């Protein structure tokens, strides 16, 4: 969830580190810090709490820190509250850790993740004379590396591998050693880390956007590997200290895709990028009018042998799974269950060789989803990953991979990645139905034709965004919002509610409309906002009736429905119309006004849309 960056080369490191950290702000953080080495001189460490500009001001935009080798970090507090003392980088020396300036220390490091046995390790180090200044598990890791480095008089790689054997938990570590002034050493387990090295310079980061400006050729460090990074070069080692070869991956994203491009916020830009993300994803798997999943490795025989599908995900990706469940069961006739990754890994769900477990993750690094993937494989299931990041851990470890082409998504609240995942799931459902002879070739062709029109229909919805902007200004002070729908509309409501609560901080909940009378309707009072999603013809009248029950108790009603259902205006206070498509695919359209509603409400409340409090883009800790 935090951000790690590193640079070593011929240029001044600190300005590059600050620039790279600014591109990781979406990951969520509460403090930041830099450590830079200038040849054989002592490491200069500077930390600040709050936003990154405080650190930039402290260092004169990085110009005050001399040196061409350094590491940086944005911290999201886990062990220890947000403070300068707990901020990274941490050092192996017995200093206060609270100030800025030269630090006498053999090892300086930053860390993402959680070290579960840090208390036990800390007690060991205390017995060996180490003094601790912070409440963090990271300081323990840095000092443990220092302990092995000095006790056994070994090199950095061996000291780090010994540390990795002792640590339980997840981590991405970047470390600098006083005796190796122009090198950075890195290690990872279950937390993402990438390296780019070319033309006498090398870069290290938690995520692609941080270094996309500087290089497109990157290495993804494998689990339980160590990297030795020097100007223009990166070497990789396993836990035995043996050197291993790692493949280079080319990042095809346009560097401008990680910029705002004239929009006020990344979220608004990414909402508007949805037609392109959907179109690109669709075109990557539908070729010459037919679905081509050959790159995934999921064969037709494998699809015919599926007995059940289990979709595992977190957050918005879980909502994609909820929508996909309705579509896959209805079209392909395969039993589907949708599980939260954080629950799946701790349950004994019956899984056989005929089970396909689909893991959905934008980053491909989500900790709970990755753990669920590994559990599924251990139990003998076939696994398919739907991910957006090429070379990510989930993509590498799954049996089959279906990539979405949403490009970099910077705002914490997902929009275009959700839509790309949704369209990929719909195509997969059609393909499975056709292979399993649940529909004719003509019907499959018709449905694929409907999907091909989705991007243009999203664009039409975006052209009407001013109405939602106006409405959101009227509801900015609302205290409670309930999103309701039936069937697929319920799945859409889940995502709409999440968008609202995570960026506007208004309490919102989503309910299957038929469940309102089983307790929830007691919460409806005067001016409680009820947002009903009504895109399913067979369920339309029932949902309208549920909304009327809320209205009779003082609720204020907003209805989202398809063009033609103009009678809804007689029942609700405000109506949003969306273009028609096949009902299986309505989620791709109905979610867009809900995204815009959440966005404009957040703006009207004066909040930080792209970086909502307490949240991170990529959740890489449990």
Residue bearing tokens 């036990």: 120
Instruction: Please state, in angstroms and rounded to a whole number, the distance separating the CA atoms of residues 344 and 245.
Output: 34
Catalytic residues: 2, 617
Instruction: Please state, in angstroms and rounded to a whole number, the distance separating the CA atoms of residues 528 and 23.
Output: 38
DSSP letter, residue 527: T
Q: Is residue 356 within a helix (H) or strand (E), and if so which, with residue range?
A: strand 355-361
Instruction: Please state, in angstroms and rounded to a whole number, the distance separating the CA atoms of residues 492 and 20.
Output: 35
How far, CA to CA in Å, does 377 sit from each of 223, 273, 352, 374?
17, 35, 10, 5
Residue bearing tokens 């001044």: 12
Instruction: Please state, in angstroms and rounded to a whole number, the distance separating the CA atoms of residues 41 and 340.
Output: 50
SS3 375: helix
Q: Are 223 and 169 in contact (CB under 8 A)?
A: no
CA nearest 599: which of 415, 337, 421? 415
Residue bearing tokens 């009820």: 530
Residue bearing tokens 């995570």: 502
Question: Residue 545: which residues within 8 A CB-CB, separation 6 or more?
Answer: none
Residue bearing tokens 């990157």: 218
SS3 75: strand
DSSP letter, residue 276: H
Chain centroid offset of residue 180 CA = 34
Pairing outcome for strands 101-103 and 43-49: antiparallel
How far, CA to CA in Å, does 512 sit from each of 463, 533, 561?
30, 10, 16
250 CB-contact burial (10 Å; exposed 0-12 / middle 13-18 / buried 19+): exposed
How far, CA to CA in Å, does 286 sit from each of 197, 294, 358, 423?
35, 11, 20, 11
Q: At what angle do helices 454-462 and 587-604 cross, to 10 degrees?
A: 30
């Amino acid at each position: 969830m935090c951000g790690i960056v590193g640079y070593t080369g011929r240029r001044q490191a600190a300005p590059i580190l600050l620039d790279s950290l600014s591109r990781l702000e979406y990951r969520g953080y509460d403090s930041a810090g830099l450590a830079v080495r200038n040849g054989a001189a002592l490491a200069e460490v500077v930390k600040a709490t709050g936003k990154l500009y405080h650190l930039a001001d402290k260092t004169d935009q990085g110009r005050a820190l001399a040196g061409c080798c350094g590491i940086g970090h944005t911290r999201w507090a886990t062990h220890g509250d947000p403070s300068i003392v707990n901020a990274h980088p941490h050092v192996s020396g017995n200093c206060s850790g609270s100030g800025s300036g030269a630090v006498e220390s053999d090892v300086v490091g930053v860390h993402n993740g959680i070290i579960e046995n840090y208390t036990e390790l800390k007690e060991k180090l205390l017995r060996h004379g180490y003094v601790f200044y912070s409440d963090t598990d990271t300081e323990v890791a840095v000092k443990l590396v220092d302990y092995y480095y000095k006790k056994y008089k070994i090199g950095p790689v061996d000291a780090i591998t010994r540390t990795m054997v002792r640590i339980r938990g997840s981590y991405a570590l970047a470390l600098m050693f006083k005796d190796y002034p122009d090198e950075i050493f890195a290690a990872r387990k279950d937390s993402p880390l990438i390296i780019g090295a070319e033309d006498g310079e090398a870069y290290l980061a938690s995520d692609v956007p941080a270094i996309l400006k500087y290089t497109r050729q990157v290495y993804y460090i494998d689990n339980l590997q160590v990297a030795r990074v020097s100007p223009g070069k990166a070497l990789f080692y396993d836990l035995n200290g043996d050197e291993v070869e790692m493949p280079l991956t080319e990042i095809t994203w346009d560097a401008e895709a990680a910029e705002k491009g004239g929009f006020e916020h990344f979220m608004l830009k990414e909402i508007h990028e949805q037609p392109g993300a959907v179109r690109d994803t669709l075109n990557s798997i539908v070729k010459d009018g037919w679905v081509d999943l050959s790159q995934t490795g999921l064969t037709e025989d494998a699809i015919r042998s599926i007995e059940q599908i289990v979709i595992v995900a977190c957050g918005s990706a879980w909502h994609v799974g909820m929508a996909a469940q309705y579509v896959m069961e209805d079209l392909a006739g395969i039993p589907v269950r949708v599980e939260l990754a954080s629950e799946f890994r701790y349950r004994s769900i019956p899984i056989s060789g005929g089970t396909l477990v689909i893991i959905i993750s934008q980053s491909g690094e989500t900790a709970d989803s990755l753990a669920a993937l590994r559990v599924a494989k251990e139990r003998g299931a076939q696994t398919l990953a739907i991910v957006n990041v090429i070379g990510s851990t989930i993509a590498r470890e799954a049996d089959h991979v279906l990539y979405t082409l949403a490009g970099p998504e910077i705002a914490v609240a997902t929009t275009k990645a959700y839509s790309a995942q949704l369209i990929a799931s719909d195509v997969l459902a059609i393909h499975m139905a056709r292979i399993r002879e649940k529909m004719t070739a003509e019907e499959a062709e018709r449905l694929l034709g409907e999907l091909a029109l989705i991007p243009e229909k999203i664009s039409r919805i975006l052209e009407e965004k001013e109405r939602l902007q106006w409405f959101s200004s009227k509801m900015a002070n609302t205290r409670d919002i309930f999103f309701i729908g039936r069937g697929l509309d319920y799945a859409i409501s889940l995502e709409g509610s999440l968008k609202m609560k995570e960026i506007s901080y208004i309490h919102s909940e989503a309910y299957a409309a038929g469940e309102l009378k089983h307790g929830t309707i007691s919460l409806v009072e005067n001016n409680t906002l009820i947002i009903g999603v009504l895109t399913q013809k067979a369920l339309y009248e029932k949902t309208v009736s549920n909304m009327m029950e809320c209205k009779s108790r003082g609720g204020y009603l907003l209805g989202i429905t398809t063009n033609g259902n103009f009678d809804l205006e007689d029942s609700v206070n405000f109506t949003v119309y969306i273009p028609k498509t096949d009902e299986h695919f309505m989620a791709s359209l109905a979610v867009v006004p809900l995204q815009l509603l959440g966005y404009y409400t957040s703006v009207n409340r004066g909040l930080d849309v792209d970086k909502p409090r307490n949240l991170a883009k990529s959740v890489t800790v449990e």
